[in-house]
Amino acid sequence: MFIHRALNSIPSKPVMFLAPLLVVLVLGTYYWNVKSDCQAQAELRDKFIDSVTDAGESGQLLHLDVLYSNDWEFAKTFQNFQPKHRKRSCPLGWDWSDDLRQELIDSKMMSVIIFFNEGVISHILEFNNARISVDEIDGRVTRELAVFRVDKSVDGQQAQYHLSFMANQN
């Protein structure tokens, strides 16, 4: 009896039932992937800021291969980065809002470290260079040589950190 009522409650035309279900599944999958990507970016940025702060306080070197352990062969850094293409939006506070990101770009306060694997971008770490600045690397730096000295200075109440590429100091 229960099964009979359940079957009778399904619309007689399956399209009326399946179309909304399909839309929900597709949008759910898309936004799940966006959320995962955005949260991973935010977590890496937080880990980067913590690692820079720790290295600046302790005098230790910052190794990018420890910071970002996924597959990558070489990296490039850019201070005051001005991207040519718009990055996928991160809604609902999963990472930077489009407005904040654009504000950083317009004010030339965004720096990036771009990780490459097999010649293709595998990840872009964006950060606000008001607190952390980084030497721009001419060319590319291999994973083994991606080591930075972190210098700390204090401006008023806020500490500022500068990452110097160690290979430039030899």
Distance of CA 5 to the CA centre of its chain: 50
- Mind spelling out the 3-state secondary structure of the chain? CHHHHHHHHCCCCHHHHHHHHHHHHHHHHHHHHHHHHHHHHHHHHHHHHHHHHHHHHHCCCEEHHHHCCCCCCEEEEECCCCCCCCCCCCCCCCCCCHHHHHHHHHCCCEEEEEEEECCEEEEEEEEECCCEEECCCCCCEEHHHCEEEEEEEEECCEEEEEEEEHHHHC
According to the model, what pLDDT value does residue 18 have? Answer: 64
Number of domains into which the chain is organized = 1
According to the model, what pLDDT value does residue 170 have? Answer: 45
CA distance 170 to 159: 27
Confidence of residue 51 (pLDDT cuts 50, 70, 90): very high
Give per-residue pLDDT as tens, 67-78: 888 889 999 988
In terms of phi and psi (left: phi > 0; alpha: psi -120 to 50; beta: otherwise), the region of 78 is: beta
According to the model, what pLDDT value does residue 150 have? Answer: 93
Q: Could you list the residue range(s) of the whole structural domain that residue 49 is in?
A: 2-169
Neighbours of 127 (CB within 10 A): 21
Arithmetic mean of pLDDT over the chain:
82
Given a cut of 60, whether residue 169 has pLDDT beyond it is no
- Looking at per-residue confidence, does 147 or 30 come out higher? 147
